[in-house]
Structure 1
Amino acid sequence: MPATTRVATPDGVSVAAYDFGGSGRAVLLIHGYSQSYLCWGKQFEGALPGRFRLAAMDLRGHGASDKPTDADAYQNGERWADDVAAVIDRLGLERPVLVGWSFGGRVLCDYVRHRGQDGISGLVYVGAATNMNRAHAGPGRASIPDMFSDELATNIEGTRGFLRACTAQPMPTDDYEVALAYNMVVPAAVRRVMMARKVDNDDVLAAIRLPTLVIHGEADTIRLPESGRHIAATVPNARSAFYPGVGHSPFYEAPERFDADLAAFVDGLK
């Protein structure tokens, strides 16, 4: 089990951080929209802990973190950057690699925009969203509007549909039930204000000088593979890996390949 730490952020929000220990290079895993650190369970159980200093966090509004409902808490990119910086500082992570899944890709861009690149050693975009390009949004997003509903039955059904779209093949029942539980912890009001934020991070991507890896599933119907290709083409000298037959969750659907690709990337850093 990880060591769990409450981290105070500059605007008074408390976020939950999880430290799995290890003496190697630090890797901070940042989950996606309506998820929690638990989505990385296969990484916690695989070959990465011990080999690297593995850590994760619950984004504000998610998991065990505080859940303010005012729009500015989620639509101001500096807030997201501050949260990540606070976790890095509180856990003592030395120039970590930041790994961002889906909405976590926006958080990575927020960090680079507001905190710069000197304090981190690399970036990994996983099934990532970095802008509002409609051409990158797939049919798997169809259930998301129902996740905004304050009517519980509608909200649950929307969340179920969203989770089904997160993988190319159905999740085992036990995994699906756990994922549904931590998705439902996120209030509808938080989901609404998060999705109301308009962003375009191409300027950030083009200015990245850090080693960057893009991982994307070729069968992703939530954030289409074109999104990953766009990120890889915009970030100078980015490397990329596209997984055939894999959907929106490469780390879950192909954990051994994902862990190997992530490890090789981290091992190759100076």
Structure 2
Amino acid sequence: MAVAERTIRTSQADLHLSESSGLGMPILMIHGSGSSRAVFARQFDSPLADAHRLIAFDLPGHGGSSDAHDPATAYTIAGLARSAGELLDRLAIRRAIVFGWSLGGHVAMELASFHPAVRGLMLTGAPPVSKGLFGMLRGFHAHWDMLLASKKIYSERDAERFETLCFGDSASPTFRQAILRTDGRLRATVTRSMMSGDGADQRQVVEQAAFPVAIVNGENDPFVRLSYFEALHYGALWEHCHVVPGVGHAPFWERPDLFNPMLSRFADAVEAQSADGALVGQRRSQAG
């Protein structure tokens, strides 16, 4: 399967992306803080890339994308979601599944709150929290390592610790480089925006979603409370809250043999529902 790379200029940053040539419904993949599109290599190197148009891009301030022109607005959850939405518009994508991991999951939920192209949402390592500090505390474990999420400047030791938290002992050699490349202003700004309640109420987005929502987490995720996901009242939960055994924060990287079939099944379900909805709309139009 051929994978193309290119850079799309948006109002806040030049976004670098990788894109497969699959013909199925596009799947937009949004990585976590300190990462890059390279974390989805094991999805691109799978039948998913043949079946679907996989699109993975580097968020502003990450990987091969530029730093934001206006960090104060672009590095909030809402600002990052606007960049993702602008990317969808520039690519002329009208229907898409969005898979968000960690920070990317929170960006995906914000994107789903306003962009009409979102037809399905898969979240990994990203609890749909209500606005403000107390909402965050319900969804995340409170421990000293969480301070790394908001630290502006990383030492080599900080980068090593963050890499271990995200990937255990399975990290690619390039992942440390991605962590150190990240614009540290983003970490502080994102944390402030979540604690202050910037953007949509993510819990409401998920609980009131009219489109399918998939939840897939690692059994040993060091950041999120798995029990929190079970307590939500989902509007359209796909199957059930999935837990991948024996892995941590990045099950799609650690166990692609288990994760990729789930993403494939979810994509098929979303595509089928979207096709049914289009057919119903067409019949109503003809009847009118």
Which TM-score band (shorter chain)? Answer: 0.7 to 0.9
**Range moving further from structure 2, 202-211 or 89-98:** 89-98
Structure 1 equivalent of residue 58 of structure 2: 58
Match of 1:75 in 2: 76
- 1:18 maps to which residue? 18
Quote the Cα distance in structure 2 between the aligned partners of 1:251 and 1:76: 23
SS of the residue corresponding to residue 107 of structure 1 reads helix
Unaligned runs of 5+ in 1: none
For residue 71 of structure 2, give the secondary structure of its aligned residue in structure 1: coil
Whether the aligned pair in 2 keeps the contact of 1:36 and 1:182 (CA below 8 Å) is: yes
SS of the residue aligned with 2:114? helix
- Offset at 1:149? 4.6
Q: What is the CA deviation profile of residues 7-41 of structure 1, one whole-angstrom value per residue up to 9, with x for unaligned ones?
A: 232x3422122211111121111111111000111
Of the three residues 165, 175, 178, the one matched with 2:174 is 178
Point out 4+ residue stretches in structure 1 off by more than 4 angstroms.
Answer: none
Count of aligned positions: 257
1:142 corresponds to: 145
In the superposition, the TM-score normalised over structure 2's length comes to: 0.81
Backbone CA RMSD of aligned residues: 2.2
| Superposed displacement of residue 91, structure 1 | 2.8
Q: Which has the larger radius of gyration?
A: 2
Cα displacement string for residues 188-209 of structure 1 (whole angstroms, at most 9, x for unaligned residues): 2222212221234222222211
Paired with 2:234 and 2:59, the residues of 1 have a C-alpha distance of 25
**Deviation string, structure 1 residues 104-141 (Cα, Å, up to 9, x no partner):** 121112112232xx322211011114334214323676
TM-score if structure 1 supplies the norm length? 0.86
Of residues 129-138 and 102-111 in structure 1, the stretch that sits farther from structure 2 once superposed is: 129-138
Give % identity: 24
Q: Which residue of 1 aligns with 2:117?
A: 119
Q: Is the 8 A contact 1:219 1:248 kept in 2?
A: yes
Structure 2 CA distance for partners of 1:98 and 1:254, relative to 1, 3 Å: same
Residues 240-270 of structure 1, C-alpha deviation per residue, up to 9 Å, x if partnerless?
2111212100101110111000101111222
Does residue 235 of structure 1 match 2:234? yes
